[in-house]
């Protein structure tokens, strides 16, 4: 399985976890919820459809929330570290840092992103264990459709340019 597919699966599963949190929490727009894997600019209801299609039981939803909570701090810390290092790189690029210092900062960012993806992947595996074989199959089909839709959008953008 390629890194791109693993990353897509990780993002999807984290999105699913975020959606469970949105269902369980009275106010899903709390700052920490948005900071944790939700994209507030996405059209409403898009992610909720995944749960409806997967038909998660109440127990599965609670377990998904528990997994999300277990990994939330790790993901948040790593995301913050990536953002901070990226800001430092931006400052270095506009300042007087030499090329080797800038390269080193870039390598640091790559390492931090890798750590973030590892935590997301572990979270995804934990969530995957909560799904039945049929739900996994459904999820795989939905993810394939999302990838195809994304590919189509990218192709359409390229044609428009």
In this structure, are residues 116 and 27 in contact, taking their beta carbons and an 8 Å threshold?
no
Give the three-class secondary structure for 21: helix
pTM for the model stands at 0.62
Q: What is the 3-state secondary structure (H, E, C) of 27-47?
A: CCCCHHHHHCCCCCCCCCCCC
pLDDT tens-digit map of 88-105: 999 999 999 999 999 999
Domain boundaries along the sequence of the chain: 3-160
Closest CA to 14 of 64, 77, 59, 83: 64
If you average pLDDT over residues 43-65, what whole number do you get?
A: 74
Q: How confident is the model at residue 144 (pLDDT cuts 50, 70, 90)?
A: very high
Q: What pLDDT score was predicted for residue 25?
A: 38
**Encoding tokens for residue 52?**
């409806």
Residue 21: C-alpha distances to residues 55, 62, 66, 110, 143 (Å) = 16, 9, 9, 29, 20
């Amino acid at each position: 399985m390629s890194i791109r597919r693993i990353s897509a699966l990780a993002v999807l599963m984290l999105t699913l976890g975020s959606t469970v949190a949105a269902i369980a929490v009275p106010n899903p727009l709390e700052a920490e919820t948005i900071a944790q894997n939700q994209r507030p600019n996405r059209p409403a209801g898009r992610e909720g459809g995944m749960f409806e299609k997967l038909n998660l039981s109440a127990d599965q939803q609670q377990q998904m929330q528990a997994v999300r909570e277990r990994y939330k701090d790790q993901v948040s810390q790593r995301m913050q570290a990536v953002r901070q290092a990226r800001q430092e790189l931006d400052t270095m690029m506009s300042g007087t840092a030499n090329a080797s210092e800038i390269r080193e900062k870039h390598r640091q960012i790559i390492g931090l992103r890798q750590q973030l993806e590892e935590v997301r992947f572990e979270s995804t595996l934990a969530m995957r264990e909560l799904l039945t074989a049929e739900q996994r199959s459904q999820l795989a089909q939905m993810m394939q459709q999302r990838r195809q839709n994304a590919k189509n959008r990218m192709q359409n953008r390229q044609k428009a340019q």
